[in-house]
Amino acid sequence: MQPLHSIEPAAVRARIRDGREVAFLDLREAGPHGRAKPLFAVNIPLGHLEERIHALVPRQSTPIILFDAETGLSQRGAEVLAALGYTEVVRVRGTLADWRRAGAELFRDTNVPSKAFGEWVEQEAHTPEISAEELKALRDRGEDVVVIDDRPFTEYRVATVPGSINVPGAELILRAQELQRSPDTLVVVHCAGRTRSLIGTQTLVNSGLFRRVVGLRDGNIGWHLAGFSLEHGADRRAPVHLAPANHARARAAATHLAERTGVRFLTAAELARWEREADRHSLFKFDVRSPEEFAARRAPGFASAPGGQLIQATDEYIGVLNARVVLGDDDGVRAATTASWLRQLGFEQVAVLRDGLRDQLASLPTPERAWVRPPDVPQIEPNSLQSLIGTPGVVVVDLRLSSEYAAGHIPGSWYAPRARLAEALPAFPRAERIILVSSDGYRAAFAQPELQALTTAAVTILAGGFSAWPLRGRPVQTGLIRAAVPPDDIYRRPLENDPDAMKRHYIAWELGLPAQVRNDGTARFVVHTP
């Protein structure tokens, strides 16, 4: 392959602002990506490209800009993308310092566009808040207060404000009315920190259905820093069955929000036209219902993206700026609510399926993860591998995340990410046979020819991956005890040795995001207030 064409940071920034489709991909590991990156760079580590590219960049003719901060990953990434049929790939020239010199900001942490947008909303809409101390005093006096945790149920169960009820973000308009004791009930919304609390609170304010709504300032973090204990293992959820009058009001309010923010409502025929044009316009179709509902019955062609999480972590679902996005549900509320926020986040071509997914929902097989078929490579069964453990000249290499490896791995195996196998190879013992392990064998299958080209040892993969190992009663070892390279595939927030200081630092960082976004100048946030 010819050397990859390079463009300057200023040209990339202009392309992000101009409103045309573009995928801006950071090929570095999650560690360096989390510590410093451009605002809209979507992280797909080089070793994960085949697994994630189709979901994030479904159209092969999408213009793709690769970012690696001059670490040499883009040329290799372009070769992978070319083999997968992607036709328009360039890279950003320069280091992180060059990006700054072009007038851009560098951002740290994860899901930054969504978190910055939450703070932007708070500043523009003056989202009402209440402190932990004020909330506790109200509850101690027996005031009419209902506290809602609007995160996914799995996060809610880990830790929440005592007595709170779980209502995931996109379901707030749909279900929160059922929790009011009277029209004057004070509804308090919270999450772990700020973003989902701010968006959730403003959602209820914008709906016009509630007289008294506030967000808990700084969420669980604020509650903890005030000296109050969190509840663990809670399982309270809002009612599933809705009063017909409440449901009708919720549907009307959500539809009004979507229309007011410029969301389109597509008929089935109009969606079919968008689908026919998917070779010219990237198209994402999401079912914004809960994961449990999606697992039970789903519509062909729609991926699961619970609405609250889609807003909280947009860059984990949509890898193309200015793409077309179609949302569906079965109640007429969640898709419209979610679409109204995506539109304000800067996705101008957002639509809701007018008649919903109800008539299309069916019990269907689990969809394949990706259209990229792995190569046929030599494999070894778990029984055969177990008999080889400890044999001189046999080396087992685990390609999973370092956190997964530390939680449990095949005894004696080494940790090494796929993209760093050349760097890791000298650290392995002398090998006549190397066996690669990934979660299910998929990543290992792509890594096998790459490693085989670097060594005379015979390279095979574990059939079924690590998931096939413990399920058959095999021994498992824990700890990050044989790392062939220093792990940097997990982003670790600063100050983790002082949890309270970390929490204060994190809140201060979130509060500073709007100023960074304004200085950067590439965001297209628009906030609509009642």
List, for residues 26-48, the tens digit of each pLDDT value: 999 999 999 999 999 999 999 99
pLDDT band at 372 (very low <50, low <70, confident <90, very high): confident
Window from 3-17, 469-483, 495-509 with minimum mean pLDDT: 495-509
Report residue 1 as tokens: 């392959």
Looking at residues 473-498, what average pLDDT do you find? 85
pLDDT averaged over every residue in the chain? 94
pLDDT band at 416 (very low <50, low <70, confident <90, very high): very high
Adjacent-strand bridge partners of 6: 91
pLDDT band at 3 (very low <50, low <70, confident <90, very high): confident
**Cβ contact 401:488 at 8 Å:** no
Is the pLDDT at 181 greater than 80? The verdict is: yes
Q: What is the DSSP letter of 371?
A: S
Residue type, position 399, single letter: L
Neighbours of 252 (CB within 10 A): 17
Looking at residues 423-449, what average pLDDT do you find? 96
Angle ∠(496,500,501) on CA atoms, nearest 5: 70
What per-residue confidence (pLDDT) applies to 473? 78
Report residue 87 as tokens: 């036709």
CA 446 to chain centre: 24
Is the pLDDT at 437 greater than 70? The verdict is: yes
Is the pLDDT at 498 greater than 80? The verdict is: no
Residues in the chain: 530
Q: What is the CA radius of gyration of the chain?
A: 24
pLDDT cut 90: percent of the chain above it: 91
Q: In sequence order, which residues have a C-beta less than 8 Å from that of residue 250 and are 6 or more positions away?
A: 173, 174, 177, 207, 209, 242, 333
Angle between helical axes of 334-345 and 244-260 (0-180°, round to 10): 20
b vs e for 78-110, b when ≥16 Cβ sit within 10 Å of the residue's Cβ? bebbeebebeebbbbebebebbeebebbbbebb
What per-residue confidence (pLDDT) applies to 233? 97
Is the pLDDT at 472 greater than 90? The verdict is: no
What per-residue confidence (pLDDT) applies to 370? 60
Residue type, position 7, single letter: I
What per-residue confidence (pLDDT) applies to 133? 98
What per-residue confidence (pLDDT) applies to 497? 52
Q: Which domains does the chain have, with CATH numbers?
A: 6-110 (3.40.250.10), 123-240 (3.40.250.10), 261-356 (3.40.250.10), 379-472 (3.40.250.10)
Is the pLDDT at 346 greater than 60? The verdict is: yes
Cite the DSSP H helix spans in 176-278: 195-207, 219-225, 244-260, 268-276
Is the pLDDT at 495 greater than 60? The verdict is: no
What per-residue confidence (pLDDT) applies to 368? 64
What per-residue confidence (pLDDT) applies to 2? 77
Looking at residues 328-340, what average pLDDT do you find? 97
